[in-house]
Amino acid sequence: MSFIQNTWYAAAWSREITRSLLSRTIANESIVFYRKEAGDVAALTDRCPHRFVPLHLGKLKGDIVECAYHGLCFDPSGACTLNPHGDGAIPRAAKVKSYKVVEKHDVAWVWLGDASKADESLIADFSVLTNPKFRTVSSYLHVQANYQLVSDNLLDLSHGQYLHPMFKNAEGPPKFEAEKEPQPNEVWAKFSRPNQLPNKYFQMLGFPGDQRGDHRNFMRWNAPSLLLLDVGMTGVNKPVEEGLSIPTSHLLTPETETSTHYFWAMSRDFRQDEDDLSQELLKAGVALFDDEDKPVIEAQQRMVNTQDLMSLKPVLLQTDGPAVRARRIVEAQLKAEQS
């Protein structure tokens, strides 16, 4: 499988990158991340060109990474700055790739391709993560499945009726609204439950169990696999501002063809001073995915194996439309890049 190169991938939550060496594989590329003394982030190929030992096993000296095996040193540009052996001459090939990294929305984003094309304005809007109007909890999850299978799962939230007891509703699956004016590189999947009683999840958040309301799940997808879910509930026909809003961020980064980094965050605009609620939401959100979504997606991956899902000609339902369109956008971008 090929991965888009000229795009921004979520590499880590900003808090994960410190003065220690952090190794992470992004789209089959092993990269070591660290925070320089000035505070910005450096990213290098996590492989010494001498004997191919991972650089993250070495030491960070100032802004220089020293290989653990023979002590060759590399600066943030990837240039070898020290060969402690023989006459000290540095071979011309003694260098590693340096990656462009920016921090935005409390996320460290990495650009794998041509650094001259790395435009920070191309990062999708996840400002909710740092918006003081919201209180946010976040986590890192790992999935043994292709990133597009996880994206498919998020773009078809009708599965919640069957997979997630907390989201089950007595009146059946949610209403699906087809996109009216689709954008070239953005997909929306809109599911709603107008004039219904709250499920267990919204009751946990404080919506009265005997009060009918309008529940929305509006998922935005941006290439290659960045999703933001506008989820909430209001009184029937009431404005969004009067109800509960819990936008959730789902930043999916391919690790390999069959594994995915999943950066997950839940924000809320109510009960912001309740630390116990924050911990409850974090625990519930992680458990919901780990115990309910993840086993199904990983089982799906095992059945698909290394084949492309669409090549197997799956039966398609109306609710699959957003996921199929997202896959087509990725395919088109890959073809354009390879040409």
* pLDDT tops 80 at residue 70: yes
Please give the share of the chain, as a percent, with pLDDT higher than 90: 94
Residue 180 has what pLDDT?
A: 82
- Look over the chain and give the mean of its residue pLDDT values, rounded to a whole number: 96
Asked if 203 contacts 213 with a C-beta cutoff of 8 angstroms, the reply is no
**Smallest Cα–Cα separation from 50: which of 72, 66, 28?**
72
Summarised one tens digit per residue, pLDDT across range 83-142 is: 999 999 999 999 999 999 999 999 999 999 999 999 999 999 999 999 999 999 999 999
Residue 178 has what pLDDT?
A: 86
Provide the sign of the torsion angle of the four alpha carbons 148, 149, 151, 155, taken in this order.
positive
Phi-psi region of 27 (alpha: psi -120 to 50; beta: other; left: phi over 0): left
Q: Which residue has the tokens 């996921």?
A: 323
Residues 6+ apart with CB under 8 A from 153: 159, 293, 296, 297
Looking at the DSSP bridge assignments, the partners of residue 195 are none
Mean pLDDT to the nearest integer, 212-222: 97
CA distance 266 to 282: 8
CA distance 123 to 106: 13
Asked if 237 contacts 196 with a C-beta cutoff of 8 angstroms, the reply is no
Summarised one tens digit per residue, pLDDT across range 280-338 is: 999 999 999 999 999 999 999 999 998 999 999 999 999 999 999 999 999 999 999 99
Mean pLDDT to the nearest integer, 146-152: 98
Pairing of strands 29-35, 41-45: antiparallel
Instruction: Determine how many CB atoms are found less than 10 A away from the CB of residue 330.
Output: 21
Please give the share of the chain, as a percent, with pLDDT higher than 70: 100
Summarised one tens digit per residue, pLDDT across range 258-270 is: 999 999 999 999 9
CA distance 272 to 75: 43
Residue 10 has what pLDDT?
A: 98
Q: Of all helices (H) and strands (E), which one includes residue 97?
A: none
User: The tokens of 102 are what?
Assistant: 């920016």
Residue 51 has what pLDDT?
A: 97
User: The tokens of 35 are what?
Assistant: 């925070």
Q: How many residues does the chain have?
A: 339
**pTM reported for the whole predicted model:** 0.95
Summarised one tens digit per residue, pLDDT across range 162-200 is: 999 989 988 889 999 988 888 888 999 999 999 999 999
Provide the sign of the torsion angle of the four alpha carbons 130, 133, 138, 143, taken in this order.
negative
Residues 6+ apart with CB under 8 A from 159: 153
* Three-state DSSP string of 37-50: CCCCEEEEECCCCC
User: The tokens of 31 are what?
Assistant: 């990269």
CA distance 238 to 253: 37
CA distance 268 to 246: 5
* pLDDT tops 80 at residue 69: yes
Three-state secondary-structure class, residue 157: helix
Three-state secondary-structure class, residue 94: coil
C-alpha angle 325/327/333, rounded to 5°? 105
* pLDDT tops 90 at residue 32: yes
* pLDDT tops 80 at residue 1: no
CA distance 67 to 337: 34
Q: H helices of the chain, where?
A: 147-155, 160-163, 200-205, 275-288, 294-304, 321-338
Asked if 97 contacts 78 with a C-beta cutoff of 8 angstroms, the reply is yes
Residue 60 has what pLDDT?
A: 98
* 268-272, Cβ contacts within 8 angstroms, sequence gap of 24 or more: 268/134, 268/135, 268/136, 268/205, 268/244, 269/133, 269/134, 269/244, 269/245, 270/205, 270/206, 270/244, 270/245, 271/205, 271/206, 272/134, 272/135
Three-state secondary-structure class, residue 253: strand
